[in-house]
Structure 1
Amino acid sequence: MSEEILINVTPRETRVGVIENGMLQEVYVERASRRGYVGNIYKGRVQRVMPGMQAVFVDIGLERAAFLHAADILRPPLPEDAEPPPGGAHAMAIGELVQEGQEIIVQVVKDPIGSKGARLSTHLSIPSRYLVLLPHSRTLGVSARIEDEAERARLKEVMAALVGEDPLGYIVRTNAEGQSAEALAFDVTYLGKVWRVVQENIARARVGERVYEELSLPLRCLRDLLNEDIEKVRVDSHETFDKALKFVRKFMPSLADRIELYEGERPIFDLYGAEDEIQRALTKQVPLKSGGYLIIDQTEAMTTIDVNTGGYVGSRNLEETVYRTNLEAAQAAARQLRLRNLGGIIIIDFIDMTDEEHRRQVLRTLEKGLARDHAKTTVYPMSPLGLVEMTRKRTTESLERQLCEPCPACGGRGTVKTAETVTYEIFREITRAVRQFSAQALLVLASPKVVGRILEEESAAVAELEEFIAKSIRFQAEEHYAQEQFDVVLL
């Protein structure tokens, strides 16, 4: 599988695209006006303790107070001779862990999404290329994605020798598979230096100040995504190219030759049709090669994906047609989840299949498609109705929520009232206004389409209404009015 990373930099926006086999699979966007907060560490102050929710709101200097649940709060170590509380340390009430007004060091684990504030944790973690530092833990773990038992044992042995009596904990990342003891030792030293700087920042920081900032998007993607499978990293900015090259030479010198300055005439995201793919990822319908299609609906509660055969009629029988469509849909759905960065609860409505083996194969295809996803996914068995429930870890807003806003005409509903409906609302409003206030005549301001309908198809109704209220009504079309917008003015 050929893989490339494209980095597009403009003065106020940076975009990173991950290309696999010539197709855009993931896209990350970071804007100067709205940089993400995930990974940043702050000195905060507890604003409100909510025992009923076992949580607190914390002021960390952002627009909205951030949310910290009891499960994400580091438990104080028990004295050696003390008995653990009934139910274990995790059973401690929120009021025993933190108090209102208390200063607290927290890390953002989920960006503010919609109307919700950022999600916090006091279990701090600082990632490097191959390791994650856990400053408040003595854990020494290895990523579950490294499945080879011999390699897991080797990595644990290397880390145990490097760490020795170090009171800090570490998790070995998937990227560390096959890496030498020297490479891991470099990361241990680097993380030790970073943690010392963070401690110094904590000591002098005021409430609401950031004490550790996650890397910028290009460097973060290089740290997390660059490996032997990536053939090239193309960067279209001299300044970002220099920073990327310096970063890679320091942390992954063997891959430095993969970083390339892109100076082509075509915009970098026009390569492999990445720009077109982003535009298509903002639409609800996803066409399948067979003629079928997916309909993707993102709501506050969950995301639903509906599979339809469309124009695909197959060549054998109905069951075979449905099976082929569902197989293609499973691959397409897995890709769209990554591309659109959809998270939370996801329901995929496959077309009903009677063959149990077909159902198993479709589920297996979906799981295989999700195997390369960097976000944690959990897929549950297919229900009798052909529904697959799954979850995908969400830490940032989806691509649509980052790039779009609710339509001002429909308020995000996706539909607007018809001109006929608005016409009858205007008639009701005229009747209401005349009963409440005295007026010689009335002026109605509305969109051209609504006014046109009233003057043509509803002219008889207007005459009846004028006779009923004993007042004249004048209609005026306003070009800038949305279809549902109108004003009744008393003259």
Structure 2
Amino acid sequence: MQDILINWSPQETRVAIIEGGAVQDLYVERALERGLVGNIYAGKVARVLPGMQSAFIDIGLERAAFLHVADLHRDPSAGRGTARGNPDGPPPTPIEKRVFEGQTLMVQVIKDPIGTKGARLSTQISIAGRLLVFLPQDDHIGVSQKIGSAELRDQLRMRMQRLAGEQGGGFILRTNAEEATDDELAADIAYLRKTWGTIRERNLVSGAGTLLHEDLNLAQRVLRDLVNDETQSIRIDSQLQFDALGAFGREFTPTSVDQLTLYKGERPIFDLYNIDQEIERALARRVDLKSGGYLIIDQTEALTTIDVNTGGFVGARNFDDTIFKTNLEAAQAIARQLRLRNLGGIIIIDFIDMTREEHRDAVLAELRKQTGRDRTKLTVSGFSQLGLVEMTRKRTRESLAHMLCEPCPTCDGRGQVKTARSVCYDILREILREARQFNPKEFRVIASATVVEMLLDEESAHLAGLSDFIGKPISLRAEPTNAPEQYDIVLM
């Protein structure tokens, strides 16, 4: 069973999914930094790049968004080519023959801007409802593979074909549509078609860079996407949002309204399960395991690495069992950390080396079992020749660390700074370089207190020798606000 806690404030909404008394998922949305995935824009083609089979599209954001040829809508009557991964179909038409600079396109964001990369777009529009996803440019009926048997999926597909009629547009039945009545499905169809009609009308009268449709906010998406048969309560700590969410739920997700309650406790709602402490731990590089082992998680632009260590765990009868039990516990913790931190892209896991094949198979099976609960698309490969497990997790929004943190201004995100002695030698080299180009009366060094202290003490002989060599005095001044690597050399 799961409980959902919603902590709301005017500037930020935070959602925690609790299972077994522990936080399993975290979602954060800030009013000034709302995600763009699902938003539909009137975009203008700024540049076409035939060599990359892509185009940059201006949708009114700080950075131009990115559209790949594979994400251009393809007319179903033309067949499905290799652009969508079908090797037997005709080759896709090159992007330079399909779009041109200055062209206006209706586009939808499928990936938020991440780091220095702009948003990724698609012209294949989809609009999500409570039970269905509407595909206004297609005509096929799809059913979620998570729904029961093939026979049940065929039955649902036939029902949908009858309900959708001849008005056009395709639909995908979401997992929670498995037990929906015809009336519920028909209501969702009507809502989605009405929404699409509004989007089309706005597009006809709007200029490039206009937002045509915005996805639901985080609290509303909780009712639409996160509530399931396992949900026993949805608690929110704002009367205003409780009323608004109740009205939304009664119209679009009536089955979830009964679980919605207003939290009136004196303690902050996230204190019930120490969620703020969990967030702090999810931002740390080291994750301690109950057994005494620990994980080291390093997130970079290219990939995320997770190193498993035994630490102080010596509980098993022999070394092989100790390693095996640590790796099993690590597999469980890694799956949870991926969700809490919202880590995406390529992930490399370095489990402790295991000599027995059955141990490796068991750890891999446990990892696949635990990641099977993830709502985000994820693939796990086997052990590589180097003994590493490679996996990928779909990245559609910023990770928790990228959302809540920024690079350290002192080390610029490197995680380390030069030693005081290294900075001293940089200063001495810089003075020698300046002395060859300029002829001041004096060189004055302004640096951190630690660097100045070392120049006056351990490096004083080298400083005096340089002063004699260039024939100029060198004075020092400590600046308390300087970072360890920051210094200035002033020509007096």
What's the TM-score, normalizing by structure 2?
0.96
Question: What letter is aligned with 2:60?
Answer: G
Looking at structure 1, the residues matched to 312 and 178 of structure 2 have their Cα atoms a distance apart, in angstroms, of 46
Q: How does 1:212-361 map to 2 (within 5 A)?
A: 212-361=213-362
1:277 match: secondary structure: helix
Confirm or deny: 8 A CA contact 1:346 1:390 kept in the other structure.
yes
The Cα of 1:460 is off from its aligned counterpart by 2.2
Following superposition, the deviation at residue 252 of structure 1 comes to 2.6
Between 439-448 and 462-471, the greater mean CA deviation after superposition: 462-471
Any residues of structure 2 matched to 1:142-221 within 5 Å, and which?
A: 142-221=143-222
In the alignment, is residue 390 of structure 1 matched against residue 400 of structure 2?
A: no
Distance 1:124 1:383 in 2: 38
Q: CA-to-partner distance for each residue in 1:308-337, whole Å, 9 max, x for gaps? A: 111112331111111101100001000000
Residue matched to 1:109: 110
Alignment: residue pair count: 485
- Shift of residue 101, structure 1, vs aligned partner: 1.1
Instruction: Answer with 237-246 or 60-69: which moved more.
Output: 237-246
Native 8 Å contact 1:151 1:178 kept in 2: no
1:83 matched residue in structure 2: none
Q: What is aligned with 2:28?
A: 29
Kindly indicate whether the alpha-carbon contact (under 8 Å) linking 2:126 and 2:135 is maintained by their aligned counterparts in 1.
yes
Residue 400 of structure 1 aligns to which amino acid in structure 2?
A
Distance 1:254 1:396 in 2: 28
* CA–CA distance in structure 1, aligned partners of residues 213 and 292 of structure 2: 50
Q: CA deviation at 1:56?
A: 0.6
Residue pair 1:376, 1:393 contacting (<8 A) in 2 also: yes
Identity of aligned residues (%): 56
Shift of residue 406 of structure 1?
A: 0.6
Which sections of structure 1, spanning at least 5 residues, go unmatched? 81-85
- Bigger mean CA offset, 457-466 vs 330-339: 457-466
Structure 2 contact 378–394 (Cα < 8 Å) conserved = yes
Amino acid at match of 2:336: R
Q: 1:135 deviation in Å? A: 0.5
* 1:362-381 → structure 2 map (5 Å cutoff): 362-381=363-382
Match of 1:20 in 2: 19
Q: Distance in 1 between matches of 2:374 and 2:358?
A: 25
> What is aligned with 2:474?
473
Structure 2, unaligned runs of 5 or more? 80-86
Confirm whether residue 454 of structure 1 aligns to residue 455 of structure 2. Answer: yes
- Cα-Cα RMSD: 1.6
Q: What displacement does 1:147 show? A: 3.4
Give the conservation status (yes or no) of the 8 Å contact 1:228–1:255.
no
Task: Indicate conservation of the 8 Å contact 1:75/1:89, yes or no.
Answer: no
Corresponding residue SS for 1:33: helix
Name the amino acid aligned to 2:203: I
| One-letter identity of the residue aligned with 2:441 | Q
Q: Does 1:47 align with 2:50?
A: no
Q: Aligned partners of 1:87, 1:254: CA distance in 2, in Å?
A: 44
Q: Is the 8 A contact 2:76 2:138 kept in 1?
A: no
The one-character-per-residue Cα deviations of 1:75-109 (angstroms, maximum 9, x if unpaired) are 246589xxxxx974542111121111111110000
Separation in structure 2 between the aligned mates of residue 176 and residue 77 of structure 1, nearest angstrom: 26
Secondary structure at 1:167 match in 2: coil
Tell me, yes or no, if structure 1 residue 69 matches structure 2 residue 57: no
Question: What's the CA shift for 1:237?
Answer: 1.3
- Residue identity opposite 1:185 in structure 2: A
User: Which residue does the alignment assign to 1:38?
Assistant: 37
Corresponding position of 1:438: 439
Write out per-residue CA displacement over residues 261-312 of structure 1, whole angstroms, 9 at most, x where no aligned residue: 1122212222211100101111110101111111111111111111111111
2:92 alignment partner in structure 1: 91
Amino acid at match of 1:168: G
Cα distance between partner residues in 2 of 1:288 and 1:467:
58
- 2: distance between equivalents of 1:439 and 1:79? 76
The answer for the alignment partner of 1:119 in structure 2 is: 120
Once the two structures are TM-superposed, the CA of residue 241 in structure 1 deviates from its matched residue by 0.9
Distance in 1 of aligned mates of 2:49 and 2:177: 41
Name the SS for the 1:323 alignment partner.
Answer: helix
Structure 2 distance, partners of 1:24, 1:100, is: 48
Mean Cα deviation higher: 398-407 or 16-25? 16-25
8 Å contact from structure 2 (residues 223, 253) kept in 1: no
SS in 1 for 2:233: strand
Q: Does the residue aligned with 2:163 lie in a helix, a strand or coil? A: helix
Structure 1 equivalent of residue 426 of structure 2? 425
CA distance in 2, matches of 1:473, 1:95: 62
Secondary structure, in 3 states, of the residue corresponding to 1:108? strand
> Conserved in 2, the CA contact under 8 Å of 1:142 and 1:172?
yes
Q: 1:144 to 1:77 in 2, by over 3 A?
A: closer
**2:139 alignment partner, SS class:** coil
Residue 83 of structure 2: aligned partner: none
Mean alpha-carbon deviation: is it higher for 418-427 or for 150-159? 150-159
Residues 405-435 of structure 1: per-residue CA shift (max 9 Å, x gap): 1111111110000001001111111111111
- CA gap 1:256/1:344 in 2 versus in 1, 3 angstroms: same
* SS of residue paired to 2:445: strand
The one-letter code matched in structure 1 to 2:480 is E
Cα distance per residue 1:432-476 (max 9 Å; x no partner)? 111111111121100111111211222222222222222221111
Looking at structure 2, the residues matched to 169 and 477 of structure 1 have their Cα atoms a distance apart, in angstroms, of 70
**What's the offset of the Cα at 1:354?**
1.8
Cα distance in 2, alignment partners of residues 347 and 146 from structure 1: 31
Amino acid at match of 1:414: G
Instruction: State the match for 2:84 in structure 1.
Output: none
Match of 1:488 in 2: 489
One-letter amino acid of the counterpart of residue 438, structure 2? F
Task: Show CA shifts across 1:365-423 (max 9, x none).
Answer: 11111111111001111223321111100000100001111111111110000001001
Letter in 1 for 2:264: E
Q: Tell me the distance in 2 between the aligned counterparts of 1:64 and 1:131.
A: 32
